[in-house]
Amino acid sequence: MGALSIGGSQLDASWFLLLAAVLFIMGAAGVLIRRNPLVILICIELMLNAVNLTLITFSRQLENMEGQLFALMSMTVAAAEAVVGLAILVDIFHVRDVEDVDELSEMKG
Amino acid sequence: MAIAIFFIAAALTLAGAVGVIASRQPLRSVLSLVVVMLGLSVLFLLLSAQFVFVVQVIVYAGAVMVLFLFVIALLGPAREIARGKLRFQSWLSALFVLALLGLMWTMLQGIQFRQPDQGVDLSFFGTVQSIAVGLFTTYLYPFELTSLLLLTAAIGAIYLSRKRIDE
């Protein structure tokens, strides 16, 4: 049932899902390991892209358009969030140079 | 043929993802993310999502990534220190990533696909018409809400980048 007939060949939906899962985990690893806040934002975008791939895979497998519509909504939200996140980042960098995201801790405690 | 396209696009995407998390310079991370998005758009086209393929290339790779590049150009070269305040951060990250990998693996093993919906006209699947029908009839309310969301984001960005008088 996970088999997809694409262009005459037989693919399987689980290949796409595995790829999306690997991309998501790599994005999560990037968020955990990297210290530059800009690179952390980029890895969040990577995770969002992986989720879009999952949505579109299931949309194709179930032959239901809702997955693609949700992926479009997800792209819109990702764009809006990137805009605001980058604006905040530029605002912070205007005042001081951030090398380590942990040093942005004025609101701690 | 489609299998070959899938594996080439998947390899490109994975190479780009490795480039995103492993590049020392943020510029290389952003360019690797563009490669990831182009590879993903090929996969979307393979999955009969023509409109999402075009939107991914034009909007995501062509606008959001350009925004990231502008910000990198604005912020200048980045210095990233190798070790942060949290001790054993790389070990804890590796542990978490392994746990997440295990979780994803078990979820993918137990996956059960249900039957596709009946009575769907596949010649219109993924076309602009079917997207429009869904977006402007059933999902009109979320569509209007996303327009409101984009307006809010634009206002927020303009406000955050205003010129301060006291500087």
The ipTM estimated for the assembled molecules is: 0.92
Task: Tell me if chain B has a CB within 8 Å of the CB of A12.
Answer: no
For residue A3, pLDDT over 90 is answered with no
Task: Tell me if chain A has a CB within 8 Å of the CB of B60.
Answer: yes
Tell me the C-alpha to C-alpha distance, in Å, between residue B37 and each of A34, B16, B110, B143: 21, 9, 28, 23
Render pLDDT for B82-124 as a digit per residue (tens, 0 to 9): 666 677 778 888 888 899 889 888 888 888 888 887 777 778 8
Q: Do B71 and A71 touch (CB under 8 A)?
A: no
Residue type present at position B45: L
Render pLDDT for B40-84 as a digit per residue (tens, 0 to 9): 999 999 999 999 999 999 999 999 999 999 999 888 777 776 666
Give the residues across from A6 on adjacent strands: A9
Residue type present at position B109: Q
Is the dihedral angle over the CA atoms B59, A84, B79, B19 positive or is it negative? negative
| Closest approach of B167 to chain A, Cα-based (Å) | 10
What tokens were used for A99? 């090398």
Instruction: Return the domain boundaries, chain B.
Output: 1-79, 127-167
| Closest approach of B159 to chain A, Cα-based (Å) | 9
| Closest approach of B127 to chain A, Cα-based (Å) | 10
B-facing residues of A in 74-93 (CB < 8 A) are 75-84, 86-91, 93
- What letter would DSSP give residue B116? P
Render pLDDT for A26-71 as a digit per residue (tens, 0 to 9): 999 999 988 889 999 999 999 999 999 999 999 999 988 999 999 9
Instruction: Kindly report the pTM of this predicted structure.
Output: 0.92
Best CATH choice for the domain B1-79 from the list 3.40.50.10800, 1.20.120.1200, 3.30.450.40, 3.10.129.10: 1.20.120.1200
- Among B13, B23, B134, select the one facing A65 at the smallest CB separation: B134
Vertex A17: Cα angle to A11 and A22 (nearest 5): 125
Q: Please give the CATH topology (third level) of the domain spanning A9-98.
A: Helix Hairpins (1.10.287)
Task: Tell me if chain A has a CB within 8 Å of the CB of B38.
Answer: no
Q: What gap in Å lies between CA B161 and CA B113, rounded to an integer? A: 47
Q: Which residues contact A59 (CB under 8 A, 6 or more apart)?
A: A65, A66, A67, A68, A71, B47, B49
Is the dihedral angle over the CA atoms A44, A50, A52, A54 positive or is it negative? negative
Q: Do B71 and A89 touch (CB under 8 A)?
A: yes
